[in-house]
Structure 1
């Protein structure tokens, strides 16, 4: 079968005075109609490899050696000193190969209507009037499952959900029926049902157009369901490759085995850390959260009468699709989005619903660990100062306290003087956890605390959180769309849909005997390492 993409002995280096290899001797091949999964931790070189295939390497990097062919056209051949020019590359991007990026919000222009952006992609390779391009954009948006595409085309990206924005990106990618689709972590920021719908959409597009797919991800379950062959990358090299099922069922390399062992096992938390007799970390009673929306007379009710209890030492996970109200509930608990109705107690003490009205002691009772450790830390402050900041605000700073907090999260004095940019993702999240613990809270709100991390780092952070909970008796409000992680860490699970709790039970009951249809739908959408997803997710859904 004819190859769509062939990469031979590719080496990518930094461009500084002492060049460092980022990709070293990588060879990959993708045939027409085939799906290739590329997995590995952050920094393994998987994204750089495919960006090189489109001539999109970031500044500060260069191709030092190798050969790249796209549909038999030579893009790079360092031995023959052949380098395709930018004008020719632009002719291939979108027409021969197209890319779907990880974060659709940052890939779309926030100031332009979504339909106009899709239409612009259409006109790149097809001379046509603006009106014809707009009509084609509506056709493409309809094809990827966007309801009322003509009406929604006139709205801006912030008015679209994460899943809808990703559909718009796919619409742009398939505008010219490319031979190759490259999807770089296309579902990382999406809930499991939307993730399943996006992958079903990509499969449908491939079946209709015969295009090949390169799927870059750290989710082995996603690869198991959606790729024919698998390449495992580590430190810039391909360490194992072969048929996906063969590699996953019989991994030959230690690194592949380590990746697989880091996946949360399909088993519930072995032992609870609940401390009977101590005040509950959280009691929320009939909480309502509403938002005023410009142009609407009535407020939007994001949380509708939710009651929730978390004991000291207990982890309660709140799950549901984007927009179900789980983050709004967390904001209400913290006081940053005041509850318009209901009451909240933290550590046995009733607190005001609005943060501004809470005393210093009330604010200290609940802290948050954010999803993205890259944006949650001030890049100008050292690790020591980041952890010391809440102590200084409360006039409780002591150098030894900062050292103890860093030690509690597995960091030492050599990290204290570093800036966030000098830390790995896992280390940054440890700093965020240390900072959240500085004021000895009774409750930690964990908002997708490991979704931005690779599976091996996820496992380390989850183990750290478990140890800290057992040591300090913390209650955890754990918000996540990764049900594998939820199953491994939570004592109880609360399922939310459209602002309401539709099911609440122990983790064992939720995963073995779900009662509500929506809960079953969530579980059916979880990618499985055996490649056998339990449910189907027909389009359209948005």
Structure 2
């Protein structure tokens, strides 16, 4: 029998507050053997991350273990002191966190931070040797020109690149257990495939175990041997990944599987029907016209770096155009240029039939109102000190158009009743926060809504609710959506047309089903081939 790296026995956690203890995790038991991978799935707040943080001795302040044992490499974590815990982190177990920006020091070069992780368990290693090892690690996780890029600060790296740096630090000492907490949430499908292949390679080489916390059931199907499904602090189903995905016993597991959008099959609801609610008067209106757009940034030695290179596209009222491509392909720069946040170096942008100035400072208030954006992370997009109603009212107050009944109408339109009006964002779930962001974006009656990864931070069941909401609002208001996403399953379910970007240029565009079923460009085929399948191929093999 294969020895276990991690055994959790009847673990219970609670939060301590002035109002008394509140249970967070109850009676959780799980096991991860050497060389095996365990997928831990469930909605936000189910206790997935807290359970794994407990195994590292990293529970947040105010949360404590009330019962149970955590045996890591033969030692009970709950009985270890701070010094012993520090010596095991990175060497026995290492954790890859979801948000690399909050995990990296913004003032230090990325390479220096990787080198520090190398030296923490090898204090005799010289600085130069640590730097060379840091570059090797960065190269091993797919960072191009690693020696040069190592000198850059975290804000100069894309989200996907920052996550690669976090993985490089985690594998620096070949730990017995890798705990990956949503490690690919911010990554496009090809980089996601590379990262997961890298984690598989590390496990194959070192015999290490993997605990993968994720809401992507496709990743669980392809990269884990066993699965534990959590709900409300307890495990409701566990077993071999192949068995659970093929024949789930619990209704909750079946619900999670049913909510997963598929990029491999046509959506049940045809994407072409999304805009059917638009009236004939709006059907031929062009909400966005982009012609030969160029966006450049200053580069080294005075050379300009062209992030967007001659892009042309249009979006009609009531239509959804999706933009897909790898990190760094120019998607975000395109959105910023459309909004005027980054002035375009060339080309033109027209919104609702009116030419838009390159810089937002040159646009009138009415022109700015025509295009609004819903951001990827609803937590950082909302002021934590401002109530739900206050956040939605803010653009109306700026335009001197505030009316309490308009705020309530907007919140009702996204499914939030009056009990939410006075709540702060911290008291909302991720899906509820994103609904507030959508309501705020609609406050000024825009013709165009830019959706920048609007559901990537949400669980699959919440994703489905938000996507249904976006469809309903589009039908009701004839909204044009420019939808940026790396989740091709979501794209196939919501978009009428797809634009594929590579290296700042459009390499393919067309109706969604045509692009997914008959891709013409090799890069598009590469993207589609990298999509994880829900079918548990790895476990079956």
TM-score (norm 1): 0.94
Residue from 465, 471, 475 that aligns with 1:460: 465
State the Cα distance separating 1:478 from its structure 2 match. 0.5
Which stretch shifts more, 333-342 or 55-64?
333-342
Alpha carbons of structure 1 residues 131 and 362: separation in structure 2 relative to 1, 3 Å = closer
Q: Helix, strand or coil for the counterpart of 1:273?
A: helix
Partner of 2:138: 141
Partner of 1:122: 118
1:346 aligns with 2:351: yes
Q: Is the 8 A contact 1:144 1:201 kept in 2?
A: yes
- Offset from partner CA, 1:319-358 (integer Å, 9 cap, x none): 1111111111112222222222222222222232221111
Which stretch shifts more, 467-476 or 273-282?
273-282
Partner of 2:15: 14
Q: Is the 8 A contact 1:114 1:154 kept in 2?
A: yes
RMSD across aligned positions (CA): 1.6
Partner of 1:260: 257
Q: Distance in 2 between matches of 1:50 and 1:272?
A: 40
Partner of 1:198: 195
State the Cα distance separating 1:367 from its structure 2 match. 0.8
Alpha carbons of structure 1 residues 115 and 435: separation in structure 2 relative to 1, 3 Å = closer
Q: Helix, strand or coil for the counterpart of 1:122?
A: helix
Q: Helix, strand or coil for the counterpart of 1:22?
A: strand
Q: Is the 8 A contact 2:274 2:474 kept in 1?
A: no
Q: Helix, strand or coil for the counterpart of 1:170?
A: helix
1:512 aligns with 2:517: yes
- Offset from partner CA, 1:194-248 (integer Å, 9 cap, x none): 1110000001111111101100101100111110000000000000000001101
Q: Distance in 1 between matches of 2:394 and 2:350?
A: 26
Q: Helix, strand or coil for the counterpart of 1:9?
A: strand
Q: Helix, strand or coil for the counterpart of 2:286?
A: coil
State the Cα distance separating 1:532 from its structure 2 match. 4.8
Residue from 302, 307, 316 that aligns with 1:297: 302
Name the count of aligned residue pairs: 526
Partner of 2:62: 60
Alpha carbons of structure 1 residues 141 and 346: separation in structure 2 relative to 1, 3 Å = closer
Alpha carbons of structure 1 residues 308 and 145: separation in structure 2 relative to 1, 3 Å = closer
Alpha carbons of structure 1 residues 136 and 242: separation in structure 2 relative to 1, 3 Å = same
Partner of 1:158: 155
Partner of 2:208: 211
The 5-angstrom pairing of residues 373-522 of structure 1 reads 373-522=378-527
Q: Is the 8 A contact 1:306 1:501 kept in 2?
A: yes
The runs of 4+ residues in structure 1 deviating greater than 6 Å are none
Alpha carbons of structure 1 residues 227 and 343: separation in structure 2 relative to 1, 3 Å = same
1:288 aligns with 2:294: yes
Partner of 1:536: none
Q: Which runs of 5+ in 1 are unaligned?
A: 77-82, 534-542
1:249 aligns with 2:255: no
Partner of 2:27: 25
State the Cα distance separating 1:147 from its structure 2 match. 4.3
- Offset from partner CA, 1:362-393 (integer Å, 9 cap, x none): 11111111111101111221111211111122
- Offset from partner CA, 1:22-63 (integer Å, 9 cap, x none): 110000100010100001111010110011011100011000
Q: Which runs of 5+ in 2 are unaligned?
A: none
Q: Helix, strand or coil for the counterpart of 2:77?
A: strand
Q: Distance in 2 between matches of 1:362 and 1:462?
A: 27
Q: Is the 8 A contact 2:308 2:330 kept in 1?
A: yes
Which stretch shifts more, 110-119 or 191-200?
110-119
The 5-angstrom pairing of residues 45-56 of structure 1 reads 45-56=47-58
Partner of 1:335: 340
Q: Helix, strand or coil for the counterpart of 1:37?
A: strand
Partner of 2:236: 239
Q: Is the 8 A contact 2:160 2:186 kept in 1?
A: no
